[in-house]
Structure 1
Amino acid sequence: MRAHYLQHVPFEGLGSIEDWLRANNDTITQTGFFETSWHLPEPEDIDLLIILGGPMSVNDVAAYPWLTAELQFIRQCLEVRIPTLGICLGAQLIARASGAQVYPNPHKEIGWFPIMGTGPQQPDTFIFPASQRVFHWHGETFDLPTGAQLLARSQACPHQAFQLGRSVLGLQFHLETTPASALALVAHCRDELVPGLYIQSEQAILAASPADYQVINQLMVEVLQFLRAGVSC
């Protein structure tokens, strides 16, 4: 399988996703919008699109002009039904590319907090656990795109995950997080760790156990396997 990922800042990479892709002997290519020169492939040259997170907003087009090209590319991939996974900013980009609005959430959600799956939906729908503690780092949210199914919510944010069609998933939370990637986020975005109802301290974030990471990384494997099944659909 030919997997391509869109990366917005150097400190938010694939995390545990890379291990899964390499274990499956997949071809991995990347567009790094933070690089001086970046290139987007043709949609027909990829089988899976992964859109990573980043500290910028979908609405920051003036500061990040490449967002216009990225949104157009995402639209093209959705039109030809490329299986697509959006994480945090990536989910917000899918929502915007699908015509939905993206805007600040009433609360920033940073740290380890539970999501609640919305239960069985239509056939061929990914099902999240009824409750699962996962890693968050986001301050914005989105309206659900037309035709999207809500898959998960949290106390801080009602739209945590959605599915479009058979094989497009948008997740506000970070199932790919590893101890190293959590440390990198804290190091680069420490200024966001201010007192808040849904903002943990640096110490609380980094105190997560190996088991915490194993659980969310396994859930990411299940998401990726679901999307891989959609490659042949």
Structure 2
Amino acid sequence: MSAKRALIIRHVPYEGVAGYREPIEAAGYEVDRIDVSDPAFSALDLCEPDLLIMMGGPMGVYEQDRYPWIGCQLRRLARRLDADRPTLGVCFGAQMIAAALGGHVYPGPVKEVGFHPVRIHDHALDSPLRHIVDVPILHWHGDTFTLPDNVDLLASSHVYEHQAFRRGRSLLALQFHAEMGLDPRFNAWIEEWPESVAEAGGDETSLRAAHDTLGPAAVQAGQAMIAEWLGKLQAR
């Protein structure tokens, strides 16, 4: 039997799968990756991989005039979701899932940047998100979305209500970055978007210190969350 294939869609080079790679590979997936800048991306069948992982990016789902690939990706993503194929979205990836399911993605009133916990809703305390209860995890976004129909809201923060949702066992969308905390690409985030740190009321020194102090536990919790999600996915 051939190995299961996981495909990572990377929207910018400095937003990869990071800490999530370990539990994905441990679950038996051969991991591949494609950048949206790759000429082959436009012809890719997004229904084909056994697992699709869409990572973050600084663009907005509503910026399709500036990034024509967004509309193309959304159409192919919608077909995958209609087929109930296993899909994980992180930050911009989660917003793409929301949009593909009929939600509205829009700029929020404030930036959410830094390490703090999310509140897991009572009905979701037995979900894979139980691993991140009370764990400060990284947030880095300014966009948010309306909740699509027929999904289950799992988590909120004190800044934004819609932090995580699922549909059945096959779909998980995470606004936050529990994959980040040990990846040196975090430095590129700060260098690329120092204004976001300032707009959120923080400073680079404090954020780097929080990353060093809180990052390892955040990644450990995020890996446990993804491992449990994949385990339930395989058991369905």
TM-score (norm: length of structure 1): 0.89
Cross-structure match for 2:187: 183
Query: Is the Cα contact below 8 Å between 2:156 and 2:162 reproduced in 1?
Result: yes
Q: 1:211 to 1:193 in 2, by over 3 A?
A: closer
Q: 1:89 to 1:72 in 2, by over 3 A?
A: same
Tell me the distance in 2 between the aligned counterparts of 1:46 and 1:37: 15
Tell me the distance in 1 between the aligned counterparts of 2:5 and 2:43: 14
Cross-structure match for 1:59: 62
- Structure 1 position 39, deviation (Å): 4.9
Q: 1:224 aligns with which of 216, 223, 226?
A: 226
After TM superposition, the structure 1 = structure 2 runs for residues 190-201 of structure 1, keeping only pairs within 5 Å, are 190-196=194-200, 199-201=201-203
Q: 1:76 to 1:125 in 2, by over 3 A?
A: farther
Q: Give the residue type in structure 2 aligned to 1:33.
A: V
Tell me the distance in 1 between the aligned counterparts of 2:101 and 2:66: 22
Tell me the distance in 2 between the aligned counterparts of 1:37 and 1:191: 33
Consecutive aligned runs of 4 or more in structure 1 exceeding 4 Å deviation: none
Please say if 1:213 is aligned against 2:215.
Answer: yes
- Structure 1 position 18, deviation (Å): 2.3
Q: 1:39 to 1:219 in 2, by over 3 A?
A: farther
Query: Is the Cα contact below 8 Å between 2:27 and 2:227 reproduced in 1?
Result: no
Local SS of the residue matching 1:207 = helix
- Structure 1 position 38, deviation (Å): 2.7
CA displacement, residues 169-215 of structure 1 (integer Å, 9 cap, x when unaligned): 1111101112412212112222322243xx42111111136562222
Please say if 1:147 is aligned against 2:150.
Answer: yes
Cross-structure match for 1:95: 98
Query: Is the Cα contact below 8 Å between 1:168 and 1:227 reproduced in 2?
Result: no
The farther-off stretch of 21-30 and 71-80 is 21-30
Please say if 1:32 is aligned against 2:35.
Answer: yes
- Structure 1 position 4, deviation (Å): 0.5
Q: Give the residue type in structure 2 aligned to 1:164.
A: R
- Structure 1 position 79, deviation (Å): 1.4
Please say if 1:45 is aligned against 2:44.
Answer: no
In the alignment, structure 2 segments of 5+ residues that lack a partner are none
Query: Is the Cα contact below 8 Å between 2:18 and 2:183 reproduced in 1?
Result: no
Cross-structure match for 2:135: 132
Cross-structure match for 1:171: 174
Query: Is the Cα contact below 8 Å between 1:84 and 1:227 reproduced in 2?
Result: no
CA displacement, residues 113-164 of structure 1 (integer Å, 9 cap, x when unaligned): 2211112249x84443443311011001111110111111111111111111
Output the aligned Cα RMSD. 2.2
Tell me the distance in 1 between the aligned counterparts of 2:99 and 2:51: 19
In the alignment of these two chains, the number of paired residues is 230
Higher-helix-fraction structure: 2
Q: Give the residue type in structure 2 aligned to 1:120.
A: H
Q: 1:186 to 1:210 in 2, by over 3 A?
A: closer
Tell me the distance in 2 between the aligned counterparts of 1:40 and 1:205: 39
Please say if 1:107 is aligned against 2:110.
Answer: yes
- Structure 1 position 89, deviation (Å): 0.4
TM-score (norm: length of structure 2): 0.88
Query: Is the Cα contact below 8 Å between 1:48 and 1:83 reproduced in 2?
Result: yes
The farther-off stretch of 112-121 and 218-227 is 218-227
Identical aligned residues as a percent: 32
Q: 1:21 aligns with which of 24, 38, 41?
A: 24
